[in-house]
Structure 1
């Protein structure tokens, strides 16, 4: 997945910084290893919405508000993908999911407005040991996710 993300960035002529670090299972660990503020971290969560899975990206310093997701998407049920479902869908483990949907990961993408508050976004890029940092402007341009507020 890491190579796929780097290829995607290069194909789109996106400037990026890559960082190899010790495994970081949490957003706090990732921010510390990157030497960056946690708020620029893009936390990518895979949720099951009715019968489909989708990726939701928000600032790593915030929590997800499932009520806002239900209201915006006009749905009744939402839950996190299990570890097994996540691996089956993406081939990745929790904490390694990058903040991209189609075509990188074949899932629809939703981006929280909190991502727009920072000049750059940092994220684990398909592993717990590899991070990438790009400008938020470039991220929004290539990620092509639907933007709305779903953070607390």
Structure 2
């Protein structure tokens, strides 16, 4: 994503009168690096996982301290096959590098599914299409811009 697209996400939040903190930091490639750069807590991070299914590309959102359970997701959604999208496919479908994919703001929108754990904490932090920029906002406000497709497909890290 370009700076213009990251700005578009901020504009969308401002348009909806949603308060947020915009952070600029060193490039981050993992959830752990992102939390260090943001001086946040891992459970506040929102991972946006781009998945390939037989019905096309979908976005699955979960707390950064958890792991995607592909089998549970496939079963819940009645998909025969679910796999993590390749780096090339992520870039093609979102315009973003893996690690920078935001939870919303795509044109056209991607089908998006949320693990209920995202809302277990007061704050949400996520990259906005660039490895060097993030947003921090209340999870109650995040609900206003995300589809309400709450599921349970995350599991604890081992």
Range into which the TM-score falls when normalised by the shorter chain: over 0.9
User: 2:33 aligned with 1:29, yes or no?
Assistant: yes
Contact 1:5 1:104 in 2 (8 A): no
User: 2:118 aligned with 1:136, yes or no?
Assistant: no
| Cα distance per residue 1:5-39 (max 9 Å; x no partner) | 10110111100001100000010000001111011
Q: How does 1:71-150 map to 2 (within 5 A)?
A: 71-100=75-104, 106-150=109-153
Using the size of structure 2 for normalisation, the TM-score is 0.91
Using the size of structure 1 for normalisation, the TM-score is 0.95
Flag structure 1 segments of 5+ consecutive residues without an equivalent.
none
C-alpha displacement of 1:67: 1.4
- Where 2:150 maps in the other structure, the secondary structure is strand
In structure 1, C-alpha distance between the alignment counterparts of 2:33 and 2:108, rounded to whole Å: 24
- RMSD of the alignment, in Å? 1.2
Q: How many residues align?
A: 151
